[in-house]
Structure 1
Amino acid sequence: MRRILRCHAIVLGVAAALALAGCSGNGDTAKTAAGGKGLEKTTIKVGGLPIPDVAPLHIAIAKGYFKEEGLTVEPVVITGGAAAIPQIKSGALDISQGNYVSAFLATSKGDKLKMIADMYQAAPNTFNVMVPKDSPIKTVADLKGKTVLVNNLKNIAQLAVTTQLKVAGLGETDVKFVEKPFPDMANAVTTGQADAAWMTEPFITSTQSQLGFRKLVDTMTGQMEDFPIAGWMATEDWTQKNPKTLAAFQRAIGKAQALAAGDRKEVEKVLPTYTKIDAQAASVITLGSYPTELNENRLQKVADLMLEYKYLESPVAAKSIIVTAAGG
């Protein structure tokens, strides 16, 4: 009987020691084990443009936030949020950056897309129409009959410019919109292929400093003030088949988003690692904000404006494209 009690005490002691070790051990290790356990996919491909909007993704990679969740993220460069939709539908990408106009437009046409986390919101001078320094175009009204470059047709760029045309007494059809990737816009304008271009950073700053371009108008004013720009999207099918992977991604990107929102230096530090923005430029370019919550009311503003400008034929509820994960 004494031997039985002694053995029982030893077993209890070992169990207690293991429990204490688990509680007092390295926190990151504990998170890794908990986060990685049972993920449907441990490696995912995530699309993003080489612009400031996606800084939190690269912060999360650099800081090991995804690793803590047992997740390996492989960044893939895309040409635009709208262009990435076929890639996530085909499975070439698991998750991608996507602007909200693209998401609502695709949803209205029957694509089952879900926004899973917020990314970027406009601030003054983050999306401007730029013209050469010697351009005869002095006001928005002067754009009548001119060619304006946008990175995607019938999308957030064209919508933003159109809101400014309205203020100037013009309509969308008063200008010719031509699609061109951001890196190719400056050359297209300087060689006479277009008269103006809708640009974001770092292209606003680089064309000003290197080519003498000037701002014609800040498109994120008036109806577009504080406009939600982009978030992370996936297909509805993917979110349903990979709920634990989704939650792991949301936790990690949320952590990085909060860091980017509270410390510009963290954004400046990571920009040169995935864009052509060097450290000096990173310290002076204009940045938007990094929201920490995927807010239905904010996104509804996008859908309502799209309806007003007939980008949508009927109302779309923002909550219909938002998905959050249990425990995420």
Structure 2
Amino acid sequence: MTSKVRRRTLVLGVTATLLLTGCGGNGEPTSSSGGNGLEKTTIKVGAMPVPDPVSLHIAIAKGFFKAEGLTVEPVAITGGAVAGPQIKSGQLDITQNNYVSTLLAVSKGEKFKLVADMYQAAPNTFTIMVPKDSPIQTVADLKGKTVLVNNFRNIATLAVTTQLKVAGLTEKDVKFAEKPFPEMGNALQAGQADAAWITEPFITANQSKLGFRKIADTMTGQTEDLPIAGWMASDEWVQKNPKTLAAFQRAIAKAQELVSNDRKELEAMLPKYTKIDAKTASVITLGTFPTSLSASRLQKVADLMLEYKYLETPIDVKSVIATPSDG
């Protein structure tokens, strides 16, 4: 081999190595180092072990994210109070959060964006329950009583307050106390409170195991078909990662559509990431799984928050929604 051929072979080898490693001439990774030119090919996504974010797990299992060149690592969270700081610190790229908490944070100056829809209420998916031998029969009987909620000043307290209004009461007529959903049944049974705002699968579990009674469906009247939860990211992250965001949005929408049309897919997935067994998964009452964010639907949440003094000034939710993009 001549020296000219050897030099040419060496140059080709170096060029190939640079291309394979995704590095520029300075040895640093290029900004687009993955499939489909995504800014980030691996992201951490916060999700609670409840039915609401089932589409995330289905999109992973079905390869919807992989088809977009995206690897999603789910991270278990306990709720929006934890997820917000994790989004701000960069520990999470995207997270599940209820809309009331997100809009409340935005009203206080937080730079968050809603990037995809997740879960919408249906009848009997969020109820006020009491022990079977409780003297409480109606919402009006809650005056002076203690009601358990999973978080203060979020969708739980807002939903209960709308039902108190119907009964001629206000939130000042009851005492709210925080308790995680899995602990509410035992706490109520032990007399630590008088009633609890409960969602599935805990509605079914507490009915079957403890004989709890429902005194009100909190998703009726003003809260009928209320949007409950969606996917949230920081405004900075959205601006820096348009292609990654678009890939996430496409995959989630595909999974949401699958769940909406085939409950069996949902029932098969729930036991894999929650403590819901197959039998319970087949009978619990669930809401709906919208495939896209609707400003008109979400405005209902913001308007309700304004009416009940959760917001001091109106919010146009269009300003909070991250516009879908092809990157």
* Fold shared per TM-score above 0.5: yes
* 2:41 alignment partner in structure 1: 42
Q: 1:83-125: CA deviations, max 9, x gaps?
A: 3111111111110001110111000000011000000000000
% identical equivalent positions: 75
* 1:30 alignment partner in structure 2: none
In the alignment, the residues of structure 1 paired with residue 35 and residue 198 of structure 2 have an alpha-carbon distance, to the nearest angstrom, of 40
Q: Are residue 102 (structure 1) and residue 92 (structure 2) matched?
A: no
SS state at 1:37 partner: helix
Q: Are residue 128 (structure 1) and residue 127 (structure 2) matched?
A: yes
In the alignment, the residues of structure 2 paired with residue 109 and residue 51 of structure 1 have an alpha-carbon distance, to the nearest angstrom, of 28
Residue 82 of structure 1: how far off its partner (Å): 3.5
* 2:73 alignment partner in structure 1: 74
Residue 324 of structure 1: how far off its partner (Å): 2.4
Residue 165 of structure 1: how far off its partner (Å): 0.2
Q: 1:129-179: CA deviations, max 9, x gaps?
A: 111100111110111111111111011100000000000000001100011
- Mapped contact 1:39–1:245 kept (Cα < 8 A): yes
In the alignment, the residues of structure 1 paired with residue 177 and residue 150 of structure 2 have an alpha-carbon distance, to the nearest angstrom, of 8
| Structure 2: runs of 5 or more not aligned | 1-32
In the alignment, the residues of structure 1 paired with residue 82 and residue 168 of structure 2 have an alpha-carbon distance, to the nearest angstrom, of 31
- Mapped contact 2:243–2:326 kept (Cα < 8 A): no
SS state at 1:53 partner: coil
Residue 303 of structure 1: how far off its partner (Å): 0.4
Q: 1:216-241: CA deviations, max 9, x gaps?
A: 11000010000000110000001011
Deviates more, 1:38-47 or 1:293-302: 38-47
In the alignment, the residues of structure 2 paired with residue 83 and residue 149 of structure 1 have an alpha-carbon distance, to the nearest angstrom, of 19
Matching residue's letter, 1:83? V
Residue 202 of structure 1: how far off its partner (Å): 0.3
Q: 1:286-314: CA deviations, max 9, x gaps?
A: 01000111000000000000000000000
- Mapped contact 2:242–2:326 kept (Cα < 8 A): no
In the alignment, the residues of structure 2 paired with residue 158 and residue 72 of structure 1 have an alpha-carbon distance, to the nearest angstrom, of 36
Matching residue's letter, 2:206? T
- Mapped contact 1:35–1:69 kept (Cα < 8 A): no
| Structure 1: runs of 5 or more not aligned | 1-33
- For residues 127-206 of structure 1, what are the structure 2 equivalents within 5 Å? 127-206=126-205
- Mapped contact 1:82–1:99 kept (Cα < 8 A): no
Alpha carbons of 1:247 and 1:196: their partners in 2 closer, same or farther (altered >3 Å)?
same
Matching residue's letter, 2:127? N
* 1:8 alignment partner in structure 2: none
Matching residue's letter, 1:191? A
Residue 257 of structure 1: how far off its partner (Å): 0.7
Matching residue's letter, 2:304? L
- Mapped contact 1:107–1:113 kept (Cα < 8 A): yes
What TM-score comes out, normalization by structure 1 length? Answer: 0.88
* 2:271 alignment partner in structure 1: 272
* 1:212 alignment partner in structure 2: 211
* 1:52 alignment partner in structure 2: 51
- For residues 216-235 of structure 1, what are the structure 2 equivalents within 5 Å? 216-235=215-234
Q: Are residue 86 (structure 1) and residue 85 (structure 2) matched?
A: yes
- Mapped contact 1:42–1:245 kept (Cα < 8 A): yes
Matching residue's letter, 1:192? G
Residue 81 of structure 1: how far off its partner (Å): 2.5
* 2:28 alignment partner in structure 1: none
- Mapped contact 1:121–1:290 kept (Cα < 8 A): yes
Q: 1:32-71: CA deviations, max 9, x gaps?
A: xx98232111111111111111110011011011111111
SS state at 2:37 partner: coil
In the alignment, the residues of structure 2 paired with residue 38 and residue 291 of structure 1 have an alpha-carbon distance, to the nearest angstrom, of 28
What TM-score comes out, normalization by structure 2 length? Answer: 0.88
SS state at 1:52 partner: coil
In the alignment, the residues of structure 2 paired with residue 286 and residue 35 of structure 1 have an alpha-carbon distance, to the nearest angstrom, of 40
- Mapped contact 1:101–1:306 kept (Cα < 8 A): yes
Query: Paired residues, what number?
Result: 296
In the alignment, the residues of structure 1 paired with residue 192 and residue 272 of structure 2 have an alpha-carbon distance, to the nearest angstrom, of 32
Residue 77 of structure 1: how far off its partner (Å): 1.1
